[in-house]
A and B are shown apart, each in its own frame.
Chain A
Amino acid sequence: MALTGIQIFKLLPKTNCKECGEPTCLAFAMKLAAGKAELASCPYVSDEAKEQLSEASAPPIRGVVIGTGDNSIKVGEELVLYRHEKTFVNPTAIAILIEDSMSDDEIKGKIDQLNNNTYERVGLILKAHLAALRCKSGDAAKFKALVEKVSGMTSDGLILISDSADVIKEAVSVCADKKPLICGATKDTADAFAAIAKESKVPVAIKGSIDDVIEITQKMTAAGIKDIVIDADEASYKDTIKNQIIIRRAALKKKFRPLGFPTISFACDMTDDKLFETTLAAGLINKYAGIVVVSEIDPPSVLALTVNRMNIYTDPQRPMVMDQGVYEFNNPDANSPLLITTNFALTYFIVSAEIEASRVPAWLLIMDTEGMSVLTAWSAGKFVADAMAPFVLKSGISDKLGHKNIIIPGYVAQLSGEFQEELGSEWEVAVGPREAGDIPKYLRKLAGI
């Protein structure tokens, strides 16, 4: 439960030494309460106060890091139920399932998918982030061998899955430095898993009904284990989603600590149909899973899941934008037509998809309008003749063209005259279609196809 400034003040030394940078301890306490200062700035705070305060100021859902270095990934720390309230924080980590019963070829295929199926979109890298290794054989030595093998094949983080703490203990011994997530303790195995988590300093996933989960996290927290992930999957998808909602709500609305942890969900175990599985995994991204384990990350699945994740986790207040500049489609040359539009990513995606579909080689100028769409940017004075003309002239596009014709979106037909004037008489401004869907027809007609 968050403390008030006065409550925090009572725990401070009250010496007004100013070493924290604030004039008084009370001022510092107020800033702490508002989340605008770090307790570490006070050199004299007692250990007891530290503990009480860090407990109180911890995020309602703990952030858990899996893996180390550049390839580590953090899940949790979410603050809202609906994405329009505030940006979702740490995007769902997608994990590919690998079992020790698989052949070497199969394993290599899965790891290749993990390492290679990487895409770029609006400057973001889209990929899966974890290898989830499951002991199916029940043979600790066999599983350990798999873990060693996979550790050498990818620098991505690992999840180690077995019901047996002994199997996990063996496996962790060869990869503890990679900070794998060990998975999954039940009520019966909680103590044994907790011992491994503590000794090897690795995060631990626990599973069971909501009541079991509460019991286990309380026990583990009391034992000093903080990095916990909850597996609350149920036999039905409906109940799995229900648990996800309950966990998020309890943590955020009730500040209920025993459920204040990120979750893991196994889409891979929900069906044998891949299309179905990927769709269920997408739903788990929407409804709060911190980690989703899937059985396949072939290119279509990675694209669909990571684009969905990007869409759901994008900032609802700030539009995605493209870099300003010249974009090429279908290998344009000096005679290819030139179009111009704004840098709202959605505008770009739609316009670029249509130009590409037209098969007509073309140039597209993307102008920085602070992520506004054509009409909005026009009415805000960002996509107007006296801003567009200097951009076009300085863009360097003239060097690439053997003509000086430029096509503007149909929705801003009214600025064509002024734009023409600003560009100078050697340029010719044409008005393109209003809707992007009509671009292919327009371009094909222009190209005489």
Chain B
Amino acid sequence: MAFDIPKETYSGAIREVIIGEGDKAVTIGGQNAMTLCGFEGEFPNRPKIAMEVYDERPENWAEAVMEPFADVIDDPVKWALKNVNEYGAQIICLQLSSTDPNTKDTSPDAAAQLAKSIAQAISVPLVVYGSGNVEKDVAVLKKVAEVCEGKNLLLGPVVEENYRQIGAAAIAFKHCIAAQTPIDVNMAKQLNILLENLGVPPDKIVIDPSTGALGYGIEYSYSVMERDRLAALSQNDAKMQMPIICDMGKEAWKARESKIPLDEEPTYGDITKRGLLWETVTAMDLLMAGADILVMRHPKSVDVIKKIINDMF
């Protein structure tokens, strides 16, 4: 009996989104089949890895993930350069955690200047994430948008409570937006509609579905992303046809398994390997669920995932 591969037919495709400008630009999205189904569709752009840089010396990080950055940890520009030049980052994700009013409350001006310095120094595109404080992110990301005009950054997390102000700044200064919703297909669609109504071009929007780590809600992210993709590809829902970014490095390294020392959990084995695996397996899950950009932290896990992306796509 001759066997015909049972193929699905898809009616939709993911939009291509370009981040960065000139020869630094990177294109994501463009596929027209479910992830891993290269035998029934086109995947013109492989998923990309963005490596994190923080605007302050991180607190409470596991030793294992401080070590690769020991010489640059207090200098975000050097940190970004090291990620690109030594660790092969395809994108940099600047995390403006110190702008949180509950911690250092760094000013929008200072944050924007830092973003600009990094954008100018590196040869890859820049993603800029605020602290997640809904009000402060408005001031910070507006300023970043203005100061970095023309750099075509990806700005996030943009949420339903602050999409108007940040969206308007992104339109005015020509940046992309990472639209973040709490692990829900309908809310993701709703925010995309709001952004489009505001005038943000659909090919300037990336979905941030909110990301759990392995053992900490990854199954929710996994299924919501699969459903996002089925809506976009099988149901041809134009409001869901955006690439997906997963801000996952911080989640993976926050997990208890990545941080708890061996003397407190004597049966857990080597803490460094634990942390690395927590990041690679989290990344693997998200990759298989459809991520187009993975925001990662440790150069070793980046290596592993890069190799897997090359094998899988």
Contact = CB atoms under 8 A, between A and B. Distances in A.
A301 B277 CA distance: 7
Interface in B235-272: 254-257, 259-260, 267-270
A65 interface: no
Contacts of A117: 267
A256 B6 CA distance: 10
Contacts of A177: none
Contacts of B219: 83, 311-312, 314, 316
Contact of B256 (A84, A237, A276, A353): A353
A346 interface: yes
A287 B60 CA distance: 35
B311 A300 contact: no
Given A253-B6, A283-B284, A303-B257, A237 B276 contact: no
Given A83-B223, A308-B281, A119 B308 contact: no
A280 B307 CA distance: 11
A246 B273 contact: no
B121 to A, nearest CB: 30
Nearest to B224: A84
A211 interface: yes
Given A286-B288, A346-B216, A353-B254, A238 B277 contact: no
Interface string A174-200: 000000000000000000000000000
Interface in A237-251: 237-238, 241-242, 245-246, 249-250
A356 B256 contact: yes
B129 interface: no
Given A283-B284, A283-B308, A304-B278, A211 B214 contact: no
B280 A275 contact: yes
Nearest to A116: B267
B268 A300 contact: yes
A349 B308 contact: no
Residue in B5, B36, B278, B281 whose Cβ sees the most chain A Cβ within 10 Å: B281
B226 A84 contact: yes
Interface in A271-303: 273, 275-276, 278-280, 282-283, 286-287, 298-301, 303
B199 interface: no
Nearest to B217: A346
Contacts of B278: 304
Given A301-B277, A438-B102, A279 B304 contact: yes
Contacts of A299: 267-270, 274
Contacts of A314: 219
Nearest to A276: B304
B259 A246 contact: no
A82 B35 CA distance: 12
B36 A308 contact: no
B267 to A, nearest CB: 6
Residue in B230, B269, B284 whose Cβ sees the most chain A Cβ within 10 Å: B284
A137 B37 CA distance: 38
Nearest to A213: B3
A210 interface: yes
Nearest to B227: A84
Interface string A393-418: 00000000000000000000000000
Given A282-B284, A300-B270, A316 B223 contact: yes
A246 B226 contact: no
A278 B256 contact: no
A304 B218 contact: no
Contact of A311 (B6, B218, B311): B218
Residue in A245, A286, A311, A352 whose Cβ sees the most chain B Cβ within 10 Å: A311
Nearest to B226: A82
Nearest to A253: B6
Given A237-B312, A299-B267, A353-B254, A275 B307 contact: no
A425 interface: no
B259 A357 contact: yes
Contacts of A256: 3, 6
A280 B267 CA distance: 24
B223 A241 contact: no
A254 interface: yes
B24 interface: no
Contacts of B284: 279-280, 282-283, 286
B300 interface: yes
A99 B86 CA distance: 39
B58 interface: no
Contacts of B56: none
A150 B222 CA distance: 38
Contact of B300 (A275, A305, A310, A311): A275
16 contacts: A82-B226, A218-B1, A236-B311, A237-B312, A275-B300, A275-B301, A276-B304, A276-B308, A279-B281, A279-B283, A283-B312, A286-B284, A287-B288, A300-B277, A304-B214, A308-B285
Interface of B: 1, 3, 5-6, 36-39, 60, 102, 212, 214-219, 222-223, 226-227, 230, 254-257, 259-260, 267-270, 273-274, 276-278, 280-281, 283-285, 288, 300-301, 304-305, 307-308, 311-313
